[in-house]
Chains A and B, each alone.
Chain A
Amino acid sequence: MAKTLVQEFTKGLWEEIPPFRLVLGLCPTLAVTKSVENGIGMGVAVIFVLVCSNVLISMMRNIIPPKVRIACFIVVIATFVCVVELVMQAYTYPLFLKLGIFIPLIVVNCILLGRAEAFAFKKGVLASIADGFGIGIGYTIALAMLAAFRELFGSGNLTIWGDMKVMEVFGSSFQPFQFMVEAPGAFVCLGLMLCVMNIAGKK
């Protein structure tokens, strides 16, 4: 049963890729994927919080009494979320303004609590680091994919990093689907992607 570290890492990228397979963490998935930059920013914040909280919880798994474990998880997660929020505010302020309320909402993101409860509380530190990176990077890739899809059809452009590198993919004659960057477009895109993932994952 024991998986290797590599397996713990790679399972987050495909088998258990959070929004598509676990269908967790959908609130920010729907809300911040208007552009690739936002999606990646959110993903990086989640990776940081996930890895740090996994490590800390895994280290303390023998000290934390099971009856108050959820409270302890929340304290740990909330602490790291605040750290991310402050650091983002200090160094990437425009991104912070765009992500806004969704950074503090990482606290109640089910992925984090789910990984703490189901994984870090039971496994060793190294495995937890691998799991945190795997799930976090999987989440980032999922957000980036969804955002790329929406941005491409919604505006005809792809923002790679900042305003400097905007690629015009379809040229100026392209009429953007405004619908794709609006909230309902997020649901439709996510539904289509889930569908594709399910077909692709069927054996």
Chain B
Amino acid sequence: MREMIKMVVVLTVLSAFSGGLLAYIRDNTKEQIENQQLEFVKGPAIKEILKGAANNPIADRFKLKDGEIERSFFVGVFEGEPSAVATESYGKGYGGDVGLMVAISIKEDKIIGVGVTTHSETPGMGARAKDDPAFATAFKGLSAAEAVKVTSDGGKIAALSGATITSRAVCAAATDIVEIYKRLKPQIEENLKAFKK
């Protein structure tokens, strides 16, 4: 009986100690990990779509509450004005979620660039959404007031041949971001003022 109690006590104390230690370390590294992920996973896409910005869009970011979800917005400063924001959303692709970063110009309500961040599509087929620059270029200049669709759905984006599902996923993600933008525009403008120099 005594041995039984000892076993339980030792394991409990050990586990509790481990849990505490891990929670402490997690709390202390959380922010740094987020920064690293931004820089190495989403960073290249953000820098690409906000090309020419005078600031560092990864450092200049703010968060907004959208219903239950908290979204990160990245700010692009052009000609001295913080006039563009980029944010990320997901669409259902062929092999899983396709992450898309979309930059929108506040002044013109237009999409100024898109970039696929994460995906698990087939290499050579759906993966061209990320690798083929021509596909992303087609999104430039689209109005941020209406839904983004592929041509076969009555939209303006020519789907990648052999990768209709991926193309639709990218469009769905873009549409989602356009919706978010419309919904949150007043708050976005409010937040952007802080980045004016």
Contacts and interface: CB of A to CB of B under 8 A. Distances in A.
Contact of B40 (A72, A83, A97): A97
A68 B7 CA distance: 7
Interface stretch (B11-19, B102-110, B126-134, B136-144): B11-19
A89 B40 contact: no
Contacts of A93: 33, 36-37, 39-40
Interface string B25-39: 110010011001101
Contacts of A97: 40
A67 interface: yes
A2 B22 CA distance: 37
A67 B29 contact: no
B190 interface: no
B18 A79 contact: yes
A82 B33 CA distance: 14
B3 interface: yes
A86 B29 contact: yes
Contact of A76 (B7, B18, B37): B18
A97 B40 CA distance: 10
Given A83-B21, A94-B40, A65 B14 contact: no
Interface string A37-80: 00000000000000000000000100111011001100110110
B10 interface: yes
B6 interface: yes
B25 A83 contact: yes
A5 to B, nearest CB: 27
Contacts of A68: 7, 10-11
Given A64-B10, A68-B7, A93-B40, 18 more contacts: A65-B7, A65-B10, A67-B7, A68-B10, A72-B10, A75-B11, A75-B14, A75-B15, A79-B21, A82-B22, A82-B25, A83-B22, A83-B25, A89-B36, A90-B33, A90-B36, A93-B33, A97-B40
